């Protein structure tokens, strides 16, 4: 497994922010994200295989750039991802964890493909945590600045 740089690491927190002023929008359940994040979540939903849905468990952080997500069936039954969203920690929470069921590996691969294709980056210590436009996103992609700040 590659080294995980914590969200609080100075290399991440020192990334400049070139705030673009994009508005916050409600995902329909009181969760606020930037309009660009909401648009990308729509792309993810459209890219998922038939019968699968993206479930946003929560929006994270004051920048409106990060979300915790999982996959579920059309009947809103969460799929096997190896751990519940926001599990207490441990190796199984790592995005590329070993010793997961075949179903969990396949489901994570579907989520990873859809989220990365829409421009999100994953925090590898938590398979469910994805962001676009924040400092971690900029750090991970080697961008000179983040689009969204607190």
* Element holding 86 (H helix, E strand): none
Residue 3 has pLDDT above 90, yes or no: no
Q: What is the pLDDT of residue 8?
A: 95
Residue 2 has pLDDT above 70, yes or no: no
Contacts of 85 (CB under 8 A, 6+ apart): 57, 68, 69, 70, 78, 128
Contacts of 33 (CB under 8 A, 6+ apart): 24, 25, 27, 41, 59, 64, 65, 67
Q: How far is CA 121 from CA 16, 53, 67, 71, 103, in A?
A: 18, 19, 11, 17, 22
- Residue ranges covered by each domain of the chain: 10-146
Q: In angstroms, rounded to a whole number, what is the distance separating the alpha carbons of residues 77 and 43?
A: 21
Residue 1 has pLDDT above 60, yes or no: no
Q: Please tell me which residue, 61 or 56, carries the higher pLDDT value.
A: 56
- Read off the tokens for 120: 């999100």
Contacts of 126 (CB under 8 A, 6+ apart): 68, 86, 93, 94, 95
Q: What is the pLDDT of residue 40?
A: 98
CA 122 to chain centre: 5
pLDDT digits (tens, 9 = 90+) for 70-123: 999 999 999 999 999 999 878 999 999 999 999 999 999 999 999 999 999 999
DSSP state of 68: E
10-146 has CATH 3.40.1160.10 classification: no
Residue 137 has pLDDT above 70, yes or no: yes
Q: What is the pLDDT of residue 90?
A: 87
Identify the band that residue 29 occupies on the pLDDT scale cut at 50, 70 and 90: confident
Q: In angstroms, rounded to a whole number, what is the distance separating the alpha carbons of residues 38 and 76?
A: 20
């Amino acid at each position: 497994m590659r080294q995980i740089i914590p969200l609080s690491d100075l290399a991440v927190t020192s990334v400049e922010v070139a705030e673009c002023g994009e508005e916050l929008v409600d995902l329909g359940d009181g969760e606020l994200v930037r309009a660009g994040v909401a648009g990308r979540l729509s792309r993810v939903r459209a890219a998922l295989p038939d019968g699968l849905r993206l479930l946003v468990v929560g929006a994270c952080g004051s920048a409106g750039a990060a979300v915790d997500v999982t996959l579920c069936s059309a009947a809103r039954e969460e799929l096997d991802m190896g751990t519940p969203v926001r599990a207490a920690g441990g190796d199984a929470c790592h995005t590329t964890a070993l010793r997961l069921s075949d179903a969990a590996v396949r489901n994570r691969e579907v989520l990873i493909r859809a989220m990365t294709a829409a421009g999100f980056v994953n925090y590898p210590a938590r398979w469910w945590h994805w962001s676009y436009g924040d400092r971690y996103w900029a750090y991970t992609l080697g961008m000179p600045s983040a689009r969204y700040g607190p």
